[in-house]
Amino acid sequence: MNRERVILASVGKKERIEELDIIRGVALLGILLANMSLFSYPYAYYEMLNFSLWNDVWNRSVVWLIHIFVEYKFITIFSFLFGLGFTIFIQRSLDKSGKPGRLFVRRMLFLLVLGLIHGYFIWFGDILLIYGVLGLFLLLFRNASPKTLLILGLGTLLLMTTLMAVQTFIFDNEMSNLAPPSEQIKQTAEQSLHNYSNGSFIDIFNQRITDGNLLHFGMFYSFFLSLGMFFIGAFAGKKRYFQKLNENRNIIKRVWIGSLFIGIPFLVLQIILKLTIDQANNGFNFAQVTGILVSGPAIALFYISSLLILLRTKRGKKVLAPFASVGRMALTNYLLQSIICTTLFYSYGLGWYGAVGPLLGSVLAFCIFGFQIFLSNKWLAHFEYGPMEWLWRWITYLKRPVFKKKKEEIDVNYFSN
């Protein structure tokens, strides 16, 4: 058994698919851009009130650009990659040990614990806890055929879209009664402005719980969006599309065209619903989620296939290569984004909460991500894994993996850079 653990723990760069690291790195940039509003001001509450602190053309334009091109697209890419990574992990573990289930359970339990720590003590917008729960559920389908996984993925998205349409056009009034009163929402928004920018650690902790509860209330359909993309990603993994990219060029092109053909009309529908449905009375625009559940996955697949096509060109490879190191340290960088942003915006740091608008927030996001590209490339020149990835492997295999690179490898990396 010890020998199996050593072999498994040594699985690394030779088996990595660099395209996946690059796509994961690009997804992290999109996630940071989407999350910046949640980091920097009471975005969720203001959306419920149909209110904005910044009404100038530049800030409003940035809000719409993020809404159209970023929101629900890059987190959906991450969900797809999670399902794909699940299948790859199961296949490789099965080849080497024959006991992938036990390893994957430990892997998900680590995410669950880390998600609880992240959500309660760093930032309320944590996704790791949900991924850990869904990952354990996904394990039940590890022996499912590719066809079954695809049907489950598309079926989950279609079912949720149908339920949302029924809810919107038949039970909208009843569902709106579940929303908190506008005055309560406004009071909570003002409270969050004070607590995050000037409050004590306890004030921030309590506010984090309040905001987390609100986020979880509104994440019912996002939960199933992630699950649907987990299944679709697992389908792609079972079909080994990413292990045989050269052989599947025609499939990638068909996905590129088909996802754009499906995604654009529903994205337009989403925008129209957001513009035309009155949010002021109940604070929730349930109708636009119908568009999100279709346009989000479709545009995400369009982005993925576009990146794969770009990576077939020399210029595309050169431009996108720096993203690979960020993607290899995805867990570390995801947590680092939360640590940096809460330090910038919360009272125990610079206290900028409520003082930074969407335009400046987006500029900050690109600056932070540029720093992560620099840090990740320098770190991986000296170490085999990011710090959280190293710990994650240790917990998964119960064997401490090699952390620091040998001197010869470091020299090679310096010369190759």
pLDDT tens figures, 7-16: 333 344 556 8
Q: Which residues, listed in sequence order, are joined to residue 383 by a DSSP beta bridge? A: 404
Domain map of the chain by residue range?
Answer: 2-416
Give mean pLDDT, residues 349-366. 95
Give mean pLDDT, residues 8-33. 80
**pTM greater than 0.75 (yes/no):** yes
Dihedral of CA atoms 264, 127, 347, 46 in degrees, nearest 10, equals 40
CA dist list (Å): 354 to 41, 114, 126, 178, 191 = 5, 28, 20, 27, 11
Calculate the average pLDDT of the chain: 86
Q: Which residues, listed in sequence order, are joined to residue 404 by a DSSP beta bridge? A: 383
* Residue 172: pLDDT band with limits 50, 70, 90: low
What percent of the chain clears pLDDT 70, i.e. is strictly above it?
Answer: 86
Record the tokens describing residue 247, joined without a space: 């052989």
pLDDT tens figures, 73-127: 999 999 999 999 999 999 888 777 667 888 999 999 999 999 999 999 999 999 9
Phi, psi of 145 (to 5 degrees): -75, 160
